Structure 1
Amino acid sequence: MMRDPSTSLPAIRSRRLPVVLALPLGVALMTLAAKVQVPFWPVPMTLHTMAVMGFAAFLGPRRAATIFLAYLAAGAAGLPVFSGTPERGIGLAYMVGPTGGYLAGYLVACALVGHLAAGRGALGRFAAMLAGLVPVYALGAAWLTLFVPASEVFATGVAPFVPGDVVKIAILTAVFAALARRTAAR
């Protein structure tokens, strides 16, 4: 099946930043995304999911996973890269806390989304990013059972975040489609 060139990103991907620049820039953007709090219902949201899915769909699985591993390494070393305040813990203490499973899920999502989104049009990238939410929520919820009664995990660790994550994925899809159209017009 032939894909419409206006809905793919090969021309944009071919102009990627060298790894030496992409890695620190990616970690900085991931950190910023984790720190930004957007008022939303039913819970405020960060842009962490948006950054993970965006890197995976735009840069592919290897670069996205490399950026996320570098982000995790910076956090493990005690740099204040994670969302929240230092009172919630920093370094390894934060990583093994209630959100640790979500961090592991993001790493899996980098690979999954990067592979599923490669060469896809807007709808395919949207579906790939939605599929990327599965390991994030599954690993996050599984780990959260160590801190929250199992009967409350879905209500506290998954359901409140689904609306915001779908909105973020829809925004990314629209941005990627606009970039692809702009690139195809050149």
Structure 2
Amino acid sequence: MSSGVSSPSSPSTLVGLLWPARDEARFAVIRAALLVAAGVALLIASAKIQVPFYPVPMTLQTLAVLLIGAAYGWRLGGLTVALYIAQGTAGLPVFAGPMAGAAYLAGPTGGFIIGFFFAAVVTGYLAERGWDRSWLSVIAMMAIGHAVNFAFGLGWLATIMPLAKAWAVGAAPFMLATLLKTALAVAAMQAAWSLARR
């Protein structure tokens, strides 16, 4: 049974197994660039699939963030999400709302967006240690990732409104959706690892 700790010849993430890295610097740069571009595209698409809620829309972004972290690992996953946030901060229309720019992060969704980065890093860190292999550990990994994102999102909302209201509008309405996203993430990771091992 694997301990989840990788060696140079044993890929520690799903992407590492499906598309192994090489020592060649040029290959490594191209590989990373393509993976980051694909991840950012997934995040942009997930942001535009949403169900309106006030003041925080419900999107598939958290699911995409956690899957990217789990599949890429903490370094590449964190880089992907950081680039996505940087694009939105620079004014590109990549966030869930029609607006973008640094001012967008000062709105009610700002904490959740910043939380995406930390959720991806934490999820990626756990995945590299084997938490993405069994359905029980994937559930725990995704729950931790969601908790990290909620901590940042609710922490920021609590600076705008009372904590009880922040919970009522920023967390309570999304509990069922969070459970559904976790179930989808578990199914996706288990299916991906099953295919990758064939």
TM over 0.5: yes
TM-score (ref. length: structure 2): 0.80
Match of 1:115 among 94, 109, 125: 125
Aligned partner of 2:170: which letter?
A: G
Indicate the larger mover: 15-24 or 131-140.
15-24
RMSD: 2.5
Gaps of 5+ in 2: 5-10, 20-29
CA distance in 1, matches of 2:12, 2:139: 14
How far residue 69 of structure 1 moved from its aligned partner, in angstroms, is 0.6
Task: Mark the CA change 1:55 to 1:13 in structure 2 (over 3 Å): closer, same or farther.
Answer: same
Cα distance in 2 for partners of 1:11, 1:76 equals 30
Equivalent position of 2:42 in the other structure: 29
**Structure 1 residue 149: Cα displacement:** 2.6
Question: Displacement of 1:15 after TM fit?
Answer: 2.7
Match of 2:18 in 1: 15
Change in Cα spacing, 1:145 to 1:124, as seen in structure 2 (3 Å) is same
Q: How far off is 1:134 after superposition?
A: 1.6
The answer on 1:102 being equivalent to 2:115 is no
Closer/same/farther in 2, CA of residues 25 and 11 from structure 1, 3 Å limit: closer
The aligned residue for residue 180 of structure 2 is 167
> What is the percent sequence identity of the aligned residues?
37
1:81-121 deviation line (CA, Å, top 9, x unaligned): 000223xxx21010121111111211111111111222232
Aligned-partner Cα distance in 1 for 2:57–2:160: 21
Counterpart position of 2:61: 48
Shift of the alpha carbon at 1:19? 0.9
1:39 deviates by 8.1
The corresponding residue for 1:67 is: 80
Question: How far off is 1:36 after superposition?
Answer: 0.6
Instruction: Find the residue that maps to 1:163 and give its secondary structure.
Output: helix
Deviation for aligned residue 1:138: 1.2
Structure 1 segments of 4 or more deviating over 4 A?
Answer: 8-12
| Secondary structure, aligned partner of 1:80 | coil
Report how far residue 181 of structure 1 moved. 1.7
Greater RCO, CA 8 A, separation 6+: 1
Corresponding residue for residue 82 of structure 1: 95
The CA deviation at 1:10 is 5.2
* Separation of aligned partners in 2, 1:104 and 1:44: 15
